[in-house]
Amino acid sequence: MGNLSGKVSIITGAGSGIGRQTALTFAQNGAKVVVAEVNEANGQETVQQIEDAGGEATFFKVDVSKYDEVEAMVDFAVREYGTLDVLFNNAGVSHVANVLDEDIEDYHKLISVDQHGVFYGIKAGADKMKELGVRGVIVNTASTFAFLAYPSNITYNMAKAAVVQATKTAAADLAPHGIRVVGVAPATINTDILKEYPAEALEAIKVKHMRNDVIEPERVADVVAFLASDAADAINGSVIPVDDGYLSFK
């Protein structure tokens, strides 16, 4: 894992799951972390965990589906810590729906967070990094479902496929400014959402991974921390599967 010492980072969706674990991992590796989260109680809990472990963090409440709030988040980070080195566009929502059953309001909600929210983060983060002359890194959370036509998941699949293309295109656009844009594509991660799955459904998911189990959030956080570090300087425009063989073999 790369060294993040002194780097100022924003992590969206940092109140739980991959976002919380990445915030903890970043802080453990020396980064100053803006915990960006729509759920204030969860976000403040992440900040407390970081501070209890000796790290440095602060909370910012944000709805990533609103561009003015994303801009305000970026401005806050710079006011608080003086610069912006890393922005992890991780916040996301999901729901299961067949195309014939998809509710239009649910469709728009998911797209506004998972697709528009990532674009807003890229745009606001890149504008600020360019203004400051920072050779920063923007990391986006995609999904294995960006590459697989998983049934009854049409809106989520669409949004995450858009994240992959946004990552690649933004990397090309921002390379002249020294800003890298990369992504991660997790498979099934052991977060609270799995508690809603029936036991049979969860077992069916587990066997799609090479080790026949879901992946812990720490494994995704480790990859994000590496991608955000100078050690990954030669990786740009790539979306890295964190999938335990899901895409390749199962």
Which residue numbers are catalytic?
Answer: 156
Q: How far is CA 199 from each of CA 61, 125, 191, 202, 216, rounded to the nearest angstrom?
A: 35, 41, 15, 5, 18
Element (H, E) at 185: strand 180-186
Q: Distance between CA atoms of 151 and 27, rounded to whole angstroms?
A: 38
d(CA 48, CA 191): 20
> Do the Cβ atoms of 77 and 10 come closer than 8 Å?
yes
Q: Find the distance separating the first CA and the last CA of the chain, reported in whole Å.
A: 27
Element housing 117 (H / E):
helix 117-132
Q: Do the beta carbons of residue 192 and residue 17 sit within 8 Å? A: yes
